[in-house]
Structure 1
Amino acid sequence: MNRESMLDRLRTRTEPWDIIVIGGGATGAGIAVDAATRDFDVLLVEREDFGKATSSRSTKLVHGGVRYLEQGNVSLVMDALKERGLLRQNAPHLVHDLAFVVPNYSWWEAPFYGIGMKVYDLLAGKYGFGKSRILSREETLERLPNIQTDGLRGGVMYYDGQFDDSRLLIHLIMTAAEYGATVVNYAEVTEILKGVDGFVDRVNILDRESGERFTAHGKVIVNATGIFTDEVRRLCEPEIEGMVAPSQGIHLVFERSFLRGEAAIMVPHTSDGRVMFAIPWHDHTVVGTTDTPIDGPSYDPLPFEQEIEFVLETASRYLSRPPTRSDILSVYTGIRPLVKAGSATSKTSALSRDHTIHVDHSGLLTIVGGKWTTYRHMAEDCVDHAITLGGLPDSECRTHHLQIHGYDDEIDGLSNMGVYGSDAAAITLLAQEYPELAKPLHPALPYIGAEVVWAVRHEMARTIDDVLARRIRAIFLNSRATLEMAPSVAALMAQELGRDVSWVNAQLADFRAMAASYLPESAVVQQ
């Protein structure tokens, strides 16, 4: 997957694209895969890097959504459970099942949550990951050695899915490219223009690396920009009413020792109305999340001090070794593109996680909302709408059983190299051919130089941030260690990209400024 060859296609294209997708997150990538596999000519452009905003900052779960079941949204849960099963089937190197335990401290919790999880099992049907069951106190402690024991009666265990979000995203982008889609990061849509009939038919694009400008014509233009949905819609209708109610959520990352055992913890009720998870991920412990309404979108949002305190306080109730602020290795913040409710509400946890498809008066097709787990169904729905809107040839969706790039059902997906799937062998060979690339980039993290080289050559990584945040997950796991290894990564990238020392210095300055948002001291007080 080579960026320059993608730009060449953009330069030389004279015919309209069938579908132009604005946005390179989970939704946009899914649409590109769906449309390309239906043999449509597809162009996907992303202003920053693929997954820079929301799609790389999830709770790392592929799940039906136990909380939505409690809210009575059975259809959303059933759809998500089906998609969860399809995703594990189509990307087994990136998606695996994980046991969750709901610890019980009151007599009523075992029957209440036990029945609820049995309903969850039934809704999953043939796509189930395993049967839930009630655990004794001893069984709960066996699975969660670090759980708070005072008052513990037992637990309820159920199964859901876990994944590496940005690795899946990159493999979706690569899948789209393999099926003929043209995909370009750092390509900003600066204008959406209308034809004589008043409907959108072309976009002006700026290559943010070179400054080169392009005009691309499209039969259908899709806005799949998540938290930036309203900003893009206003490119063609400036006075349009907004659709998105942004909500911020944070996660704290700790050493793996805070959550020994192979199970995750699910706390079904916190004081802000959300569930709280403590999960093992890449040999670390991730705890979150929060749900805080905010005014607008940002690529690098900062955590609120109140959020950090809330997560630490909640975690201390359930972990026998309460984590403190000094134990935080990294804090990451994501913004959810929730669809506004019909009536005003300040409680974003009550807003729908389902997706919405909307066609503006100008003919711009917008999809917003949804969740990572249902990205494939969202894409199918959007492309079906695009076919009708653009008068494109009828074509059935082909992604239900489509193997995603890297598909490997034998590799250990929990290992560091496992997330590359079938690409792991090539990266290992690269490290064997060039021993200096086999050396760890930092003693606190498992990554090696060969992964950096691979990311630049094959995964369209253009900046240090692209590599350290989304090709490997270093900044999410240990922000200080990542800052220490950044110069080595910059040197490797400069060699691959043919950049000079001024590029290295500029990259390091930009990365250090960005990486500060992953440090707990970056937190701001919400007014």
Structure 2
Amino acid sequence: MKREALLARLRSTPEWDVLIIGGGATGLGCAVDAAARGYTTLLLEAHDFAKGTSSRSTKLIHGGVRYLAQGRIGLVREALEERALLLANAPHLVHPQRFVVPVYHQWDRLRLGVGLKAYDWLAGQHSLGASRLLSVRDTVAALPGVKETGLLGGIAYMDARFDDARLAITLMRSVFDLGGLAINYLPVTALRQEAGRVSGVEAHDAEHGERFTIAARVVINAGGVWADALRQLDDREAPARLAPSQGAHIVVDRAFLPTDNALLIPHTDDGRVLFAIPWQGRLLLGTTDTPRSDLPLEPLPLAGEIDFILDTAGRYLTHPPGRNDVQSAFAGLRPLIGSGQGGGTAALSREHSIMVSRGGLVSVAGGKWTTYRRMGEQIVDTAAPLGGLPARKSITRTLPLHGHPGRVANDVLGTDRPVADTLPGAGNVIHPAFTLTEAEVRHAIRHELARSVEDILARRHRALFIDARAAGTAAAAVMTIVAAELDLDEDETRRQTAAFQALAQGFCQGADAPM
């Protein structure tokens, strides 16, 4: 997994069957699917895997209760089936999660009860357990700290949670397991065309500046919120298809809801639901839905979004968190398919659309983590004949992902755990706020293509998302190991440390907020 060896393989391969641009959930799903079919597969990521939206989700693998309320039956049924496949194929990363909805109005009891029974029915053989009505006493026991004034009871149902960035890293490792190649920090700068057809890309190594001309039989644009910009490299007249939306989240101490159950708040002022989910030993609250016309690489929650989440949670918790209780605040940009009518984004579809340009560029818009595998299958089904590739069926429905332990386990490294624990520093925890060890830092660099302190503290380990201030404090110790492993000079070491600490400052309270 040394970068020099990966670049050497790239130089020595005259043409790839499938070339994918973008190392988020969709691109990685495409790469796993293509490599599993036996196509020579290359994935290029401009930054780090899951740098953008795919590490900033609500951490749910779910059918989507609110999509059911919107009448998107097909999307819900498909997502519930994909939930079952992920629980089977990545049990070290995806786990069943019980949700409880507190009920304060009789109409909500009826409406939500019927809706969640429909959710059970759509899950069918993939059900994780039937929803059921709870008494006031059982609701308070399930959600200690929930407001009891006016409480009529609750409804419990089952879904699943996961670690999004770790699933992305696992998919990247799976690409290698299947014979493919994935490289981060290798941005595509242009599309190559021959006889009016897209025939490859121009790219360069962001670390050392080397330029590459890469030939491919078919190119897939999985650029997420930046997919329209890639489409316009192929066709300058291509109309924009995306209406990006920002989803913000905050992380607080689990003491505000000390339970293994998650809370679903069914009504918010922006037309969404809001979740309170036990995650990484903390409590994750979110999410918002704010339209954005710009596409920053590092979006941060706006002050109003943080206040919105705190205010909404405060209506349901006896002792609600305040500004000073926020340990991390982060935001992601969702690549929603636009309506062309302006306005808000809460009602826009989370389904995906596959587009093929006149030049043969295959682009995907929309989608969500839960259905990444199905999206990858459909995209490769579309791309393979365009590249003249032999027809081969997808096998990813029953494909165990890298590190699959063969049983349900809570260790995100899965079968890689013994490998990590043989490295120096296995017993040395970097910071008391986290479980990250020196050995795990070395493992991330040697086996998971981590290239910076941010790669490790944001995505190989979730320290930045758990406690941003503590992550900033831990940066120097992590950077010492990174510098030694990658032979970085003092200037680069200082630059990386300062850049990460500035990022951590933003995660402390978000944009435009008091620090």
TM-score by length of 1: 0.96
CA contact (8 A) 2:300 2:329 kept: no
Correspondence for 2:222: 224
| Amino acid in the other structure paired with 1:240 | A
The CA deviation string for residues 316-349 of structure 1, in whole angstroms up to 9 with x for no partner, is 01111111000000001000000112x4031211
Correspondence for 1:173: 172
Correspondence for 2:132: 133
CA distance in 1, matches of 2:421, 2:262: 31
Q: List aligned pairs for 1:84-163, cutoff 5 A.
A: 84-163=83-162
Q: List aligned pairs for 1:83-482, cutoff 5 A.
A: 83-195=82-194, 197-341=195-339, 343-410=340-407, 412-413=409-410, 418-430=411-423, 434=424, 436-482=425-471
CA contact (8 A) 1:516 1:522 kept: no
CA contact (8 A) 2:301 2:510 kept: no
CA distance in 1, matches of 2:33, 2:430: 37
The CA deviation string for residues 121-171 of structure 1, in whole angstroms up to 9 with x for no partner, is 110011111111000011111111121111111100000000000001000
- In the alignment, structure 1 residue 504 sits paired with structure 2 residue 493: yes
The CA deviation string for residues 289-337 of structure 1, in whole angstroms up to 9 with x for no partner, is 0000001212201211111110010010111111100000000100000
Q: Secondary structure at the match of 1:162?
A: strand
CA distance in 2, matches of 1:454, 1:429: 10
CA distance in 1, matches of 2:513, 2:259: 34
- In the alignment, structure 1 residue 30 sits paired with structure 2 residue 23: no
CA distance in 2, matches of 1:486, 1:411: 32
CA distance in 2, matches of 1:142, 1:409: 34
Correspondence for 2:67: 68
CA distance in 2, matches of 1:513, 1:412: 35
The CA deviation string for residues 401-442 of structure 1, in whole angstroms up to 9 with x for no partner, is 1000010143531xxxx1111111222333xxx3x4422211
CA contact (8 A) 1:300 1:517 kept: no
CA distance in 2, matches of 1:394, 1:524: 54
1:494 to 479, 483, 498: 483
| Amino acid in the other structure paired with 2:8 | D
| Amino acid in the other structure paired with 2:25 | A
Question: Aligned-pair distance for 1:501?
Answer: 1.9
| Amino acid in the other structure paired with 1:242 | A
Q: How many residues align?
A: 514
Compared CA separation, residues 88 and 373, structure 1 to 2 (3 A)? same
CA contact (8 A) 2:330 2:510 kept: no
| Amino acid in the other structure paired with 2:136 | R
CA distance in 2, matches of 1:522, 1:449: 32
Q: Secondary structure at the match of 1:59?
A: coil
The CA deviation string for residues 484-507 of structure 1, in whole angstroms up to 9 with x for no partner, is 000000001111111222221011
Question: Aligned-pair distance for 1:111?
Answer: 2.2
Question: Aligned-pair distance for 1:3?
Answer: 2.4
CA distance in 1, matches of 2:431, 2:265: 34
CA contact (8 A) 2:66 2:273 kept: yes
Question: Aligned-pair distance for 1:523?
Answer: 3.1
CA contact (8 A) 1:302 1:524 kept: no
CA distance in 1, matches of 2:2, 2:13: 17
Compared CA separation, residues 437 and 487, structure 1 to 2 (3 A)? farther
CA distance in 2, matches of 1:315, 1:391: 53
Q: Secondary structure at the match of 1:400?
A: helix
Question: Aligned-pair distance for 1:521?
Answer: 5.3
The CA deviation string for residues 74-110 of structure 1, in whole angstroms up to 9 with x for no partner, is 0000000000000000000000000000100112222
* RMSD between superposed Cα atoms in Å: 1.2
CA contact (8 A) 1:301 1:517 kept: no
CA contact (8 A) 1:93 1:409 kept: no
| Amino acid in the other structure paired with 1:427 | A
CA contact (8 A) 1:190 1:203 kept: yes
List gaps (5 residues or longer) in structure 2: none
CA distance in 2, matches of 1:388, 1:410: 37
CA contact (8 A) 1:276 1:289 kept: yes
The percentage of aligned residue pairs carrying the same residue is 46
Compared CA separation, residues 409 and 142, structure 1 to 2 (3 A)? farther
CA distance in 1, matches of 2:227, 2:510: 30
Shifted more, 507-516 versus 73-82: the winner is 507-516
Q: List aligned pairs for 1:8-27, cutoff 5 A.
A: 8-14=8-14, 16-27=15-26
| Amino acid in the other structure paired with 2:72 | N
The CA deviation string for residues 382-407 of structure 1, in whole angstroms up to 9 with x for no partner, is 00001122221000000001000010
Correspondence for 1:50: 49
- In the alignment, structure 1 residue 483 sits paired with structure 2 residue 482: no
Q: Secondary structure at the match of 1:271?
A: coil
CA contact (8 A) 1:227 1:336 kept: yes
Q: Secondary structure at the match of 2:341?
A: coil
CA contact (8 A) 2:300 2:510 kept: no
The CA deviation string for residues 434-466 of structure 1, in whole angstroms up to 9 with x for no partner, is 3x4422211122211111110000000001110
Shifted more, 102-111 versus 310-319: the winner is 102-111
Shifted more, 500-509 versus 204-213: the winner is 500-509
Compared CA separation, residues 363 and 306, structure 1 to 2 (3 A)? same
| Amino acid in the other structure paired with 2:307 | E
The CA deviation string for residues 352-389 of structure 1, in whole angstroms up to 9 with x for no partner, is 10010001122111012110000000000000001122
Question: Aligned-pair distance for 1:517?
Answer: 2.3
